[in-house]
Structure formats: C-alpha cells, structure tokens
Structure 1
Amino acid sequence: IMFWANYTVLWLIMLGLLVLDVVLVRMGVRIFNREELLGREIDEFNLIAGLRKWVILTLARRAGGPRRSVWRWYREEVLGAVGRMKGALLVVIIAVVAAYFLGQRYAHIYVIPADFFYTESWLEDFQEMMAQVGLVGTRGTLRVLFQNVRALAIASGLAVFSFGVIAVLILMLPVALVGFLVTQMVAAGIDPLTPWAAVIPHSLLEIPAVILAGAAALRLGASVLAPPPGKTVGEGWMEALADATRLWLTLILPLLVLAAFVEINVTPRVMTLVAGGL
C-alpha cells in the first residue's frame, strides 16, 4: 500500500483498528463487570442442554401461560423478533443503500465500452442461456432458492466469527454489482427500464428477505459484545440464535421461495415485455 502511495487506505485501516479497539474495550467493560460476575452463574458448555434450550427458545412456548392463537404467536414472537432487531435492520439498510451508490461511483471510474452491451439478438441469447444453465421451470426455481439460501447461510455462519461484519459485507457485494452494471448499461444508451425489469420483480421479495437475514446475522454476531442486562454471553447469544432461527423458518425462507419462483417465472416475462416495447 505504501509502495503505491495509497495513503487513504492506510487511514481507513487505522480508523478500522480504532473502531475495533473501542468495540473490544466496550465488550470487556460490559462482560467482565465484577459485581455481575460474582452475582450470577458462569456459562457452562453443555451441548445437549444447549440444543434443548435452543429448541425451546425457538418455539417460544410459554410454560404455564394461556394458550395463544397462531396469529398472536406470530405477532409476538416473529414480528416481535423483527422489532428487537431495529438497530441491526437500520445498519443493514444503510449498508445496502451505500453499496448501490458505491457501485454507481465505480461505474463512472471503470467504464465498460458501450459495444459490450450491444448484440443483434441479445434477448434470444439471454433466453437460450437461461435454458442451458437450467434456470427454467421447477428445477430453475429450486436452483435459485438453493443458491440464495446457501449464500445467506454462509453469511450468517461467518457473522458468528466477525461480530456480524462479514455478513454485512457479503450482502453488500451483489447490490454494489447491480449498481455498477445498471449504471454502465444506462450510460451505454440502453433504456433504464430494461435492466430494472430484470431486477425489480423478484427483488421486491428477495431484498426484504436478505435484509432480515442480514440483520439477524448481525445481531447474532454482535450479541457477544453486549449481552442483555442480567444475562451471560451464552444466554444472550442463544436468544439471538433462537430469534434468527424463528425468523428463518417463518419469514425469511418463505420470502426466498416466493422470490425464486418470481425470478424464474415472472422476471423473464417482464423483461421480455419491456425489451419488446410492451
């Protein structure tokens, strides 16, 4: 970095290290509070008990309380979990929006020649390519669903080891790529409706699912920094994991299924109509 005299990157690295120092100091002050350590039990690793507690917390059944209707349970335990992630949701939304504008910025720096986007039969080539790679019908829907679930699952897993930072960065990459390519295509003279028609239909379902998954992963990774008052690190992390699991099963996964179906069966038709001048 110093060889290329890119001192801006060095300043960014220093800023990142400063933020990390503040985070670690805050975590130490919060976790290693003498009075709380002496007044509560220490976390004990027990795999079987941990799995049992995870299932109980995920189901969110109130022992001894009145039975709740399905809608009341969903409102309190699923939508309530979304409410508990307001801070994480805000961070992910800001990061995703920033990624799009970052992609736009780099599109003006690294310009792709306009000829790259022009072919005589691009629509036919696109449809043929979709068929060749298996992105048609039920098989295509399942393939898209698998790819989306795998990407979000990997991001969620990496969040555990990075305080949620890597999860947010992974979610930013495709959004930055969309901003980069859409800007390039519009600059090349292509009708802006065409690239947006290839993105918007399924994104109306996919983006909320991605934001929810990213916020759940961020909260899961960051839960070790500041456990809820009166709870150990393990208890706070287990509650965050249960909320994330509940959201995945009842909200995120259904949205991803619908988004995959729309991406294969609706988006290509919308793009064909727009490209053909309706």
Structure 2
Amino acid sequence: MGRQGARRYLSRIGFVFFLVLVSLFFAIPMLWLVLAPFDANPTMSIGMPDWTLSNFQRVFENPQAMRAILNSLIIGIGTMLLVVILGSTASYALSRVRIPGRDALLYSLLLLSSIVTGTAAMVPTFQLINLLGLINTQIAVILVITGGLLPTVIFILKDFMDSLPKSYEESARLYGAKPYQILMHVVAPVARPGIAFVAIWAIVQVWANFLVPFILLRSPELQPAAVVMHTFYTESGQADLRLISAFSLLYSLPVILIYFLVNRRFGFRFHGGIKS
C-alpha cells in the first residue's frame, strides 16, 4: 500500500469515527428519553433502569400534565389548519398571478421572518395582542405562531404550485369548475406531499415553542406542555426527573405518530428541489 493509499485509508477511518461521534451525540439523549421513564430513580446518566411504571402513574395523576398535552394538541392542530389554508391559497395566488416584484416580495418576506426573530418582536406582538383583547387566549398563540410560519410556508408551497401544469386548471375551467373547486379538487390533490410536509413542520414548530405561550397565556389550565414542563419540581426545588422523563416520552409520542401516519399516507420525497 502506497503513501496515497494509506492517507485515503486513514481519512476513511477518520470520517467513520466522526460519523460515530455525531451519531452518539444524537443517540444518547434519545436513549435517555426511552429508558429514564421506566427507571424508579432516574438520573441524568444512562444505565439499565430499575423497571417500573409508577412514573407514568404520577403523570396521569397530575392534573396539569394531561391537560397540557391536550392544550398542545389544540394549539398545534389549530395552527396547522390555519397555516395550511392560508399558505396554500397565498402560494397558489403568487404562483398564478403575475404582479410586479412578486419574487422580490416573496424573498423579502422570507428574509424578514429570519432576521426579525420571535424574541425580538415579542414586545410589539404582546402590545398588539393586548390591544385586541386576546391576552390569555389560545387563539392569540395560534395567530402569532401562524404569522411567524407563513412566510416560510408560502415559499415552500409556491414551488409545488409552480410545478403544477396549468393545463389541468384549464381543463377544469372548460367543464365549468369555479376557482375554489379548482383549488380543492385539482390543485390540492397534486400538491398533497407539499401540504403534508408543511402540516407536520407546522405542528413540530408549535410543539417545541415555549416563548409565545409563556408570554401570552396566564392561566395554567391553558398552557401547553412546553410551558407546563418547566413547573415540574419537587418540594425542595429540584427537577422531578421521574415526572419529567415520563411526561417527555408521552409528550413526544403525538408528533412521532403524526409523522409516521402522514409519511405512510403521502410519503416524503424530493420534489422540485424541496423535500416533500
């Protein structure tokens, strides 16, 4: 083996070692999430658990825990529906209507949504929601998160709308279909993979969002799981790992199930350069 072959062999070993480190970096937290809920005395380290189901019993007995997951579902599904409806109609309009500066407008919205983060806009957002009288309502959380997600959603879905042949719509018009019928029965079925991706992505963004509901919601019975989890402490002020570990596993299951259900129904593939 020559010097060049030895270097290539060592570079491959280094690359494999790097991939193993990266895999462990992501696998260890997932392993803790799976094992800790079944440990009678969970810690921050990973080891064989002392198997028990009492941690889940504590979650079910906690009045805030299960209500918080329900609140997360309400906010997540509400945001997802609003994002899909508004994003689909707006992207379809931008794809079909030729207006001056259309692409510049789209890229500007995407750029501004990336630069002006939710944290930076939280004070004016709070003032606006307060003027509307929507403080301490889940509708306010849905509207604020939807506004933050829409620029990216429109940018993604427009790619799908551009790929749809206009001949489909022209054929539907010849048979007397109205614009909303064309959108529902011609455009939406073809763009289903993109809509499915956007729907899952919106729910994931809502599921992990802590700041918006924490600021806008005052009543504990309205707060989602991402906020309520930060209240799980023992009487001495220490984090209750038994409750947190079991609740975290239950909290993760809905998003995982939604992903597999939609993936089985629609599938995810690359379409027009964007994952669908």
| Category of TM-score, reference length = shorter chain | 0.3 to 0.5
**TM-score, reference length from structure 1:** 0.36
Q: TM-score, normalised by structure 2?
A: 0.36
